[in-house]
Amino acid sequence: MAKNTVYAKQSANKKATIGIVGMDCASCVARIEGVLKKKKGVSGAEVNLAIEKAFIEYDPCVITPEELHISINEAGYKTIRQERPEAADSEKQIRQQEIKSLSARFAVSLALSLPLMYFAMSHGFNLFVPRFISDNMALIQFLLATPVLYAGRQFFNRGLLSVIKTKSASMDTLVALGVGAAYLYSLFVSFLIWTGGGTFGGANLYYETAAFLITFILLGRLLEALAKGKASEAIKKLMTLASKTALIVRGGREEEIAIEEVMAGDIVIVKPGQKIPVDGVITEGHSSVDESMVTGESIPVEKSPGAAVIGATINKTGSFKFKATKVGSDTVLAQIIKLVQEAQGSKAPIQDLADKISAYFVPAVLAIAVIVFIVWFASGEGFVFALTAFISVLIIACPCALGLATPTAVMVGTGIGAKNGVLIKSAESLELAHRVRYIVFDKTGTLTRGKPKVTDVVVASGESEDALLACAASLEKFSEHPLAEALLAYALQKSAVLQEVKGFRALPGKGISGTIGKDAFTLGTSRLMSEKNIDTKSFNDDLDRLENEGKTVILVARNNTLMGVVAVADTLKEYAKEVVATLKKAGKEIVMITGDNRRTAEAIAGELNIAAVIPEVLPRDKALEIKKLQSRGLKVAMVGDGINDAPALAQADVGIAIGTGTDVAVEAGDIVLIRDDLRDAAVALDLSRYAMRKIKQNLFWAFFYNSVGIPVAAGVLYPFTGFLLNPVIAGSAMAFSSVSVVTNSLLMTRYRRNM
């Protein structure tokens, strides 16, 4: 009995998904996870920075979802209450509010910082300043700078107050210390000016440094916020694919019911043009089903009794009945949705270098500054001397350059990408792309056009191509099959004259037949010709060649004599060969994945010179294949365009979606190729490499200034040269480091695409 009670309690654990607004770095993730894991009743907590969500396992008997929200809010972040029915609208509303708030605070900060900078520079450049302002410079700068710091109060709340609770530093901590040091030093000087103490003047104020640092960082946060909040859209669009109702047979009568009421074992009726509501097996009837929205393959599949059908796919031609085998969360579509959610909910592997270093950098700088103050004060140099050295250390160590090193390069890099038809959704995507080793391409719609096209026409001796096309197109005119559409389009392009057809008959899964004039025609598969005792031996070599090339062959017979064959296939996209060759030359391992049979897959791969092929892969297994490649310890990119690619795009380290593909694929991808141009996939990877080189250069310069500047600011040269770094010089060095970082990032505009 006790065992049963314990088991019941353990199984009663629930999982909560909470949206979070305001996370900026890996330290934010660590802070929130730390707060949650300390709560009694929480058995697990994982925060995903990329999609801004916390995944929490908790005991509802010990802690409530409301308390989880309160814990996160107390850590300095805003939560989105996902459990409400209107959660989607609420999430969108909160993100819009965040963007609106950041926009307003940035606008206010910029409006106040510009005149502040002018007044601060006036003493060094002899700029005109009204007498009233020059006589009250400290007060004016104080009044202009203080509201800017209030606009950036989030950095102080999270950087200083929260760090006390979790004992971890972040970029917010660096910003708070740097801005706070400049502001407090300026406030100290202002106090001396107002009281008439000392010899300080306007040149000793650094309000503009504090104000402009807040302004630039607010701009960066605003741009980041604009790019967030897209992950849930992929799930929403997948959910809209499912049918709302189903027509079933119960008690001998047809009855339309809600999709949620369909049970396994029900007999479901599907008419032409309707969506198939759930998964099942056909029991009666024949049809052609468009499964492209799930499998990604463009050619509809012929279905007859015993064939499996997938929910959310579209019935093209005939009516049929099927027995429901999988309903609700067990359907293929539901499993795809689950896979996308799991892939998106998994923890991002990337940690920002600056955030890692900040955990040690901030305490180290603060410790150095305190030691410097104590040493100089104890040596008898006086309080002002010691305080000047203390402030100089903090100002020169201000993380302006460190904070701008990555965002500026990311902003410029993503801007360049957009101009080149590459939409990079996040800094994480930009950073990861250059480390990719494996690039997995979906076949249909990505490497190929995704639309059948006539590629070959072979006629028997004594027959003409024009006559064969005219007869075949005349019959295919009555067929709704995509292969028929391809043949008809090709024939009309060749100016074929269509003729009257009598006795048209569709032979499900085999072909069609009919009479033109006095002649009886049969079009279809080799099996159909065999059933009709039509000799095809003279075309065996052609049939083998065309089928080995992965093409679908339509045989055309007149009066039981073969006239010829027409081959239809999905053709390669423009630049596909060039892109594959370029990526291989860059050292990338290329893999092609498809739901097609092995013969077709290998034929296409052979044309592209791709050695690694994964054929006959079900939609739910594409993500598993990505996982297998990732298990080798290398980064994997997935390039795709269909709904069936969404789980794999989400699972891959970098998902590259064709922008002209389905909305779900676009939303699930980390990088979107706006144009249907495969060359942009190579551009995305090359741009990532270029941007990361710039980011590393920026970080080098940012740390170089600190490593050289901090010892000088601490006064190591004073005993030997009498030189003590003035906060003015410290501020200039800090500003120069920022300018160099921004300038280096702007040089990225010289980037030229490699193909």
629, 591 contact by CB (below 8 A): yes
* Stronger pLDDT, 303 or 738, i.e. the higher one: 303
Among candidate residues 111, 105, 119, the one with its CA nearest the CA of residue 208: 119
86, 181 contact by CB (below 8 A): no
Question: Does 46 have pLDDT greater than 80?
Answer: no
Pairing of strands 53-58, 314-315: unpaired
* CA–CA gap between residue 673 and residue 258 (Å, rounded): 38
* Calculated CA dihedral for residues 90, 96, 98, 102, nearest 10 degrees: -170
When mean pLDDT is compared across 183-187, 370-374, 384-388, the lowest value belongs to 384-388
Banded model confidence at residue 280, pLDDT cuts 50, 70, 90: very high
Task: Give residue 84's pLDDT.
Answer: 41
pLDDT tens for 519-577 read 999 998 888 999 999 999 989 999 888 888 878 889 999 999 999 999 988 888 889 99
* CA–CA gap between residue 670 and residue 562 (Å, rounded): 52
* Calculated CA dihedral for residues 520, 525, 528, 532, nearest 10 degrees: 50
The mean pLDDT of 191-206, rounded to a whole number, is 75
Q: Encode 386-401 in three state secondary structure.
A: HHHHHHHHHHHCCCHH
* Stronger pLDDT, 396 or 137, i.e. the higher one: 137
Alpha carbon distances (Å) from 374 to 367, 378, 394: 11, 6, 15
Residue type, 288: S
Residue position matching structure tokens 């998106």: 344
* CA–CA gap between residue 177 and residue 367 (Å, rounded): 12
554, 523 contact by CB (below 8 A): yes
Among candidate residues 744, 751, 732, the one with its CA nearest the CA of residue 699: 744
* CA–CA gap between residue 546 and residue 317 (Å, rounded): 27
Instruction: Return all residues near 154 (Cβ < 8 A) that are at least 6 apart.
Output: 22, 76, 172
Residue position matching structure tokens 């809209």: 240
310, 276 contact by CB (below 8 A): yes
**Number of CB atoms found within 10 A of residue 180's CB:** 18
Give catalytic status of residue 290 as yes or no: no
* CA–CA gap between residue 174 and residue 362 (Å, rounded): 6
Share of the chain above pLDDT 70, in %: 79
Task: Give residue 697's pLDDT.
Answer: 86
pTM above 0.85, yes or no: no
* Stronger pLDDT, 4 or 46, i.e. the higher one: 46
Banded model confidence at residue 223, pLDDT cuts 50, 70, 90: low
* CA–CA gap between residue 243 and residue 258 (Å, rounded): 9
Query: Residue 557 pairs with which residues in a beta bridge?
Result: 522, 562
Question: Does 355 have pLDDT greater than 60?
Answer: no
Q: DSSP letters of 1-56? A: -HHHHHHHHHHT-EEEEEEEE---SHHHHHHHHHHHHTSTTEEEEEEETTTTEEEE
* Stronger pLDDT, 28 or 487, i.e. the higher one: 487
* CA–CA gap between residue 346 and residue 32 (Å, rounded): 16
Q: Could you say which of 172, 279, 352, 442 is catalytic?
A: 442
When mean pLDDT is compared across 282-286, 348-352, 587-591, the lowest value belongs to 348-352
The mean pLDDT of 157-168, rounded to a whole number, is 68
Task: Give residue 628's pLDDT.
Answer: 92
682, 420 contact by CB (below 8 A): no
Pairing of strands 589-593, 612-614: parallel
pLDDT tens for 626-679 read 999 999 988 999 998 866 788 888 899 998 988 655 555 556 678 878 777 889
Task: Give residue 227's pLDDT.
Answer: 43
Banded model confidence at residue 171, pLDDT cuts 50, 70, 90: low
Average pLDDT score, the chain:
80
* CA–CA gap between residue 506 and residue 524 (Å, rounded): 10
Task: Give residue 665's pLDDT.
Answer: 54
Q: Could you tell me the two tokens for 250?
A: 């119960």
pLDDT tens for 113-125 read 889 888 887 766 6
Task: Give residue 297's pLDDT.
Answer: 56
* CA–CA gap between residue 35 and residue 27 (Å, rounded): 12
The mean pLDDT of 162-173, rounded to a whole number, is 65
When mean pLDDT is compared across 28-37, 88-97, 206-215, 469-478, the lowest value belongs to 88-97
* Stronger pLDDT, 470 or 84, i.e. the higher one: 470
Alpha carbon distances (Å) from 674 to 278, 381, 418, 430: 33, 64, 8, 16
Instruction: Return all residues near 282 (Cβ < 8 A) that are at least 6 apart.
Output: 303, 304, 305, 306, 307, 308, 309, 320, 321, 322
**Number of CB atoms found within 10 A of residue 572's CB:** 17
Angle subtended by helix axes 171-195 and 26-37, to nearest 10: 100
* CA–CA gap between residue 203 and residue 414 (Å, rounded): 39
In terms of average pLDDT, the best of 278-282, 428-432, 506-510 is: 278-282
* Stronger pLDDT, 539 or 2, i.e. the higher one: 539
